[in-house]
């Protein structure tokens, strides 16, 4: 019984705390972010496993974590609110060739990242042409 | 484009995935209920000849499990005997209260406690073997209580 409860608590806690911390793509991960991830993995391991060295416990934990993940993604498909809560919403950062500085600032996004995005999909700037925000300048 | 598609195969995979999700759900439910230890399904007790034993039906290797004996009153010191075959599969961590002495008689290990009882004695034990374990406990070797535990690896 404790395997499911431990896994659920850790999963829920990590979900909330990473949502609070803000979203960040894997590419913009700093070395320290990466080290922090390793430490978090190490810290949660104790809470998950406790003093149980059995293989069964490990299998049950993995099953529960994957089960919660699958269940949550099924629920996300049904509920838009839940989807927005967990995944966040897309945000337009550049519209009609204008950079929305306030949004950029609050999303902790830099001009250099937009330039990179432009290079990838060759964003067309200028009046009358909408930037394909879907692929480039949304986070 | 020349893609090696197989829609039928993909449909079979999807079906298999759905079944897999169902199994995951059932395993989680079974775990919550105590199918793998620590839960209502795992709680068990045996009773007879004035002795009552509460134990876990399911345990896990190297994960402490508890045997709780309710010993009836006796004239002198209270005692309980456990089968040596059973105890060989365990490492005894704590016995509460501490026994006054432990005696070995034939296939039994007898734990003697000070005072006439009634007494509640707990054995905290660590399974060192997995699989089905047959245990026996008794106040007097003539009338033993049999119980079974299953230890997951």
Min Cα–Cα distance to chain B from A77, Å? 15
Is the whole-model pTM more than 0.80?
no
With vertex at residue B90, the alpha carbon angle to CA B86 and CA B91, rounded to the nearest 5 degrees, is 140
> How would residue A74 be classed by pLDDT, with cut points 50, 70 and 90?
very high
Min Cα–Cα distance to chain B from A12, Å? 16
What pLDDT shows up at residue B142?
67
Q: Is the dihedral of CA B87, B90, B96, B98 positive or negative?
A: positive
The model's pLDDT over B36-94, given as tens digits with 9 standing for 90+, comes to 988 899 999 988 878 899 999 999 998 889 999 998 888 788 888 898 888 999 999 99
> How would residue A126 be classed by pLDDT, with cut points 50, 70 and 90?
very low
CA dist A64 and B29 (Å) reads 10
- Phi/psi of residue A137, each to 5°? -95, 25
Task: Name which of A56, A57, A70 is nearest B21 (Cβ-Cβ).
Answer: A70
DSSP code at position A52: -
User: Mutating which of A2, A55, A77 best tests the B interface, going by the most B Cβ atoms within 10 A?
Assistant: A2
All domains of chain B, ordered by start, with CATH? Answer: 43-152 (2.60.40.10)
A16 inside 8 A of chain B by CB: no
Count of domains for chain A: 2
Query: Are residues A50 and A24 part of one domain?
Result: yes
Query: Are residues A127 and A76 part of one domain?
Result: no
Query: Are residues A36 and A82 part of one domain?
Result: yes
Last-in-domain residue among A87, A111, A131: A87
Q: Do A2 and B28 touch (CB under 8 A)?
A: no
Query: Are residues A136 and A103 part of one domain?
Result: yes
Reported as type and span, the H/E element at residue B135 is strand B131-138
Query: Are residues A82 and A112 part of one domain?
Result: no
CA dist B65 and B133 (Å) reads 13
- How many Cβ pairs within 8 Å bridge chains A and B? 54
Torsion of CA B27, B29, B31, B34, to 10 degrees: -140
The neighbour count for residue B7, using CB atoms within 10 Å, is 7
Q: Do B32 and A1 touch (CB under 8 A)?
A: yes
Query: Are residues A75 and A42 part of one domain?
Result: yes
């Amino acid at each position: 019984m404790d395997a499911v409860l431990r896994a659920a608590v850790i999963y829920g806690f990590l979900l909330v705390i990473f949502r609070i911390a803000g979203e960040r793509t894997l590419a913009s991960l700093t070395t320290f972010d990466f080290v922090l991830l390793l430490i978090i993995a190490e810290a949660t391991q104790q809470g998950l496993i406790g003093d149980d060295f059995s293989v069964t416990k490990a299998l049950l934990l993995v099953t529960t974590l994957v089960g919660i993940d699958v269940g949550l993604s099924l629920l996300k498909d049904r509920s838009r609110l839940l989807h927005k809560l967990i995944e966040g919403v897309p945000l337009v950062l550049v519209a009609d060739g204008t950079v929305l500085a306030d949004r950029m600032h609050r999303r902790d996004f830099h001009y250099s990242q937009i330039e990179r995005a432009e290079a990838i999909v060759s964003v067309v700037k200028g009046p009358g042409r909408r930037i394909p925000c879907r692929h480039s300048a949304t986070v | 484009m020349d893609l090696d598609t197989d829609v039928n195969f993909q449909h079979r995979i999807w079906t298999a995935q759905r079944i897999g999700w169902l199994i995951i759900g059932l395993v989680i439910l079974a775990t919550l209920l105590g199918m793998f230890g620590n839960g209502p399904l795992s709680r068990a007790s045996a009773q007879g000849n004035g002795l009552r034993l509460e134990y876990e039906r399911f345990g896990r290797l190297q994960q402490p499990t508890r045997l709780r004996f309710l010993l009836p009153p006796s004239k002198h010191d209270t005692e309980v005997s456990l089968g040596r075959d059973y105890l060989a599969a365990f490492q005894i961590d704590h016995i509460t209260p501490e026994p006054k002495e432990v005696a070995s008689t034939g296939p039994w290990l007898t734990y003697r406690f000070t005072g006439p009882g009634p007494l509640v004695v707990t054995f905290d034990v660590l399974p060192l073997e997995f699989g089905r374990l047959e245990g026996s406990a008794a106040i007097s070797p003539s009338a033993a209580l049999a119980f079974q535990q299953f230890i997951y690896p």
